[in-house]
A = this chain, B = another copy of it.
Amino acid sequence: MSEQRLTAQMAFLTEADRLKSVNRATTLADGSRSENSAEHSWHVALYALVMGEHAPDGVDTDRVIRMLLLHDLVEIDAGDAPIFGEHDTAALEAREAAAASRLFGLLPDRQGAGLRALWDEFEANETPDARFAKSLDRFHPPNQNLASGGGSWVTYDVAYDTLVARVGSKIAAGAPKLWDWLQPRVAEFFARN
């Protein structure tokens, strides 16, 4: 029993390795290369560990960390969709749902269903935990871009108003204290560049 469970769990964990080969629009803080979705997932989970104290009341930081460890796994099949790119949202959501079924389906039934439910909760962005997790996921790239001197803002020729509408509003929704800290820094960057 334990043997069979472990074999299924290792199949999932070894398949998860492929997330290290999915590249994102954002670069490392030093601008030297694109970051991949596995190292991004680590970094944003570390953000949660450090920034949990700034979450709205009722957020469970450990659940947020678990969500963030899982949140991008679907990109193994569906690819990364850069936030400033143009997407067919319905088609993307269908690809991601199929990816979730395949990947979490590698696990023992009950465990796979539990982790799938956690990913569904993240995607639905309705509970306080999911909203804080989503806000951290949106808070990470601007900080990478500030460190690297522009990053994906330059690649996608992003205007300040677009950034506020697509990113700032979502950070503010789940983590208002983080947006209060970030907003003047971003405004100052765009005023200079």
List A residues at the B interface (Cβ < 8 Å): 2-3, 6-7, 9-10, 12-14, 16-21, 28-30, 32, 35-36, 38-39, 41-43, 45-47, 49-51, 53-54, 62, 65-66, 69-70, 107, 111, 115, 143-144, 147, 177-178, 181
Contact = CB atoms under 8 A, between A and B. Distances in A.
B69 A49 contact: yes
A13 B46 contact: yes
Contacts of A6: 54, 177-178, 181
A9 B32 CA distance: 23
Contacts of A41: 42
Contacts of A51: 9
Nearest to A118: B49
Contacts of A115: 49-50
A151 B14 CA distance: 15
A39 B54 CA distance: 26
Nearest to A36: B39
Nearest to A148: B17
Given A35-B20, A43-B38, A147-B14, A111 B50 contact: yes
A151 to B, nearest CB: 12
Given A2-B177, A41-B42, A66-B65, A50 B17 contact: no
Given A39-B42, A41-B42, A9 B50 contact: yes
26 contacts: A6-B178, A9-B50, A10-B143, A10-B181, A13-B46, A13-B47, A13-B50, A14-B29, A14-B143, A17-B28, A17-B29, A17-B30, A17-B43, A17-B147, A18-B30, A19-B42, A20-B39, A21-B32, A36-B39, A38-B39, A38-B42, A38-B43, A39-B42, A53-B111, A62-B65, A65-B66
